[in-house]
Copies of this chain bind each other. A is one copy, B any other.
Amino acid sequence: MTYCCGLMLEKGLVLMSDTRTNSGVDNISVFRKMFHFRVPGERSIALMTAGNLATTQAVISQLEERTKAPDERENALFGAETMFQVATEVGKLLRKTVAERQKANDREGTRSFSASIILAGQIAGMEQRLFLVYPEGNFIEASRETPFFQIGETKYGRPILLRGYDRDMSFEDAVKLLLVSFDSTIAANLSVGMPLDCMVLEKDSFDEPLHQRRFDGNDTYVRSLSGQWSESLRQAFNNLPDYSFYDMED
Chain B residues whose C-beta falls within 8 Å of the C-beta of A236 in the assembled complex: 229, 232-233, 235-236
Residue from the set A233, A234, A239, A242 with the largest chain B CB neighbour count within 10 Å: A233
Secondary structure at chain A's binding surface: helix, strand, loop or mixed? helix
Bound Cα distance from A68 to B173, whole angstroms: 63
- Residues in chain A within 8 A of chain B (CB atoms): 155-156, 158-160, 162-164, 171-173, 175-177, 179-180, 184-185, 187-189, 200, 210-211, 213, 219-221, 224-225, 228-230, 232-237, 239-245, 248-249
Bound Cα distance from A233 to B237, whole angstroms: 9
* Contact in complex: B159, A237 (CB < 8 Å): no
Beyond A155-B156, A187-B159, whether A176 also contacts B242 by CB under 8 A is: yes
In-complex Cβ contact of A237 among B156, B162, B177 (8 A): B177
Beyond A221-B243, A232-B236, A234-B164, whether A188 also contacts B176 by CB under 8 A is: no
Name 18 A/B residue pairs within 8 A (Cβ), A-sorted.
Answer: A155-B155, A159-B184, A159-B188, A162-B187, A163-B234, A164-B237, A175-B243, A176-B243, A210-B245, A213-B248, A221-B241, A221-B248, A221-B249, A228-B239, A228-B240, A228-B241, A233-B236, A236-B236
* Contact in complex: A245, B156 (CB < 8 Å): no
Bound Cα distance from A160 to B163, whole angstroms: 14
Q: Quickly give the copy total for this chain.
A: 2
- Kindly report which residue of chain B lies nearest to residue A200, judged by CB atoms: B245
Residue from the set A163, A173, A230, A243 with the largest chain B CB neighbour count within 10 Å: A243
Chain B residues whose C-beta falls within 8 Å of the C-beta of A213 in the assembled complex: 248
Top 8 nearest A-B pairs (CB, nearest first) are A155-B155, A232-B236, A159-B184, A172-B243, A176-B243, A175-B243, A211-B245, A158-B188
Chain B residues whose C-beta falls within 8 Å of the C-beta of A179 in the assembled complex: 243
Chain B residues whose C-beta falls within 8 Å of the C-beta of A163 in the assembled complex: 187, 230, 233-234
Chain B residues whose C-beta falls within 8 Å of the C-beta of A237 in the assembled complex: 160, 164, 176-177, 180
Chain B residues whose C-beta falls within 8 Å of the C-beta of A224 in the assembled complex: 241
